[in-house]
Chains A and B, each alone.
Chain A
């Protein structure tokens, strides 16, 4: 019996050492790609997502939600949203700034957040921020009242169309310096659309924050239509016959083709639009 316990203990100790050694090697050899252009695998993404959801839920448990109605509160929330949030998160019909498009993890579409997360959790995320995501803590820059104002505005955000949002923006009393618009990167020589390049480009224009896309990690939000089966649909956005050339045109300038659409002009370059269009033709299976 004694020797049996010894064997078990030694085996576990051996395994633990091997594990530590392997982990050390993985870290030291630089095996894990930390670049923002290589997304997490679906499994890792899902695990991190669950961890994040639980961590936020537990910590926001005790927060009391104040009254979020009242025009002044919503209006003030909008001004703060416009000054501090829209640059990375975008809004209906308004694209995030170019630097935000390249963030990994992608800044969430706040229309999706408002429709999915409770008020207290959104407040907590604004106040405390999220490690290693680019979401800063606002605790030391804004008061609790101001942060609740932002939540109050976010509550009505999903009820605004792109036209409504632009009106709010134009009516705003505060003048902001226009952030660099999402002008397409200078075009290199163009080639025909490439599926693999398109699959990669999808990650770089935050498509996954609004569309459900098969096999793209984190693409689970129903802000825009789900893209499974898009290849089999005869129309793009209900207005253009669906072919790769029209898809390229649509991707490059949705608001020109369909004024008022919630899909913003993301500054997608000609080549990237070609590649993404090629990738979309592979999504022929309906859900």
Chain B
């Protein structure tokens, strides 16, 4: 006597439970960065994506949505939005990200990342693109 109703019900329960878990993220986290919104409206992520290819970032970094050979010289840039710190030194805020991109050795004199001579606008575009990555 098999009861065909059992298995789907069980699956539904699991689905429901995972749905509940997803819902638990409804409230915003305690710390949010208000300056991210400003940067995202002013700068152009698309231009940032093109700059990443043009300025040679991909020689060292693997970047989502930018086609290039895989390189592991610098860390992959796939989770920039989730990271708490830049280079382990600066809190990961858009303002700090722009500052870092403009002149990495000024933040960390021993870093392997060079100053690539970006303008402020270019650094903001690249930062906006990196923050926009899921």
Contact = CB atoms under 8 A, between A and B. Distances in A.
Interface string B115-130: 0000000000000000
A254 to B, nearest CB: 8
Given A118-B29, A151-B30, A157-B31, A237 B21 contact: no
Nearest to A7: B1
Given A50-B21, A222-B84, A238 B31 contact: no
Contacts of B112: 234-235, 238-239
Contacts, number: 110
A122 interface: yes
Nearest to B104: A238
A55 B126 CA distance: 40
Interface residues of B, number: 35
A225 B111 CA distance: 16
A4 B79 contact: no
A238 B1 contact: no
Contacts of A223: 84-85
A225 B83 contact: yes
A203 B78 CA distance: 26
B88 A258 contact: yes
A283 interface: no
A237 B85 CA distance: 12
Nearest to B110: A239
Contacts of A50: 17, 21
A253 interface: no
Contacts of B93: 159
A177 B113 CA distance: 40
A162 interface: yes
Interface stretch (B36-44, B51-59, B67-75): B67-75
Given A238-B111, A286-B76, A156 B83 contact: no
Interface string B96-112: 00000000000010111
B2 to A, nearest CB: 13
A156 B31 contact: yes
Interface stretch (A187-195, A259-267, A274-282): A259-267
Q: In the complex, which of the residues B84, B93, B112, B113 has the most CB atoms of chain A within 10 Å of its own CB atom?
A: B84
B16 interface: no
Interface stretch (A14-22, A70-78, A82-90, A108-116): A108-116
Interface of A: 4, 50, 53-54, 57, 92, 111-122, 151, 154-162, 222-226, 229, 232-235, 237-239, 258, 260-263, 286-287
Given A157-B31, A159-B93, 10 more contacts: A54-B21, A115-B84, A159-B33, A160-B91, A161-B90, A162-B89, A233-B73, A238-B87, A238-B88, A258-B88
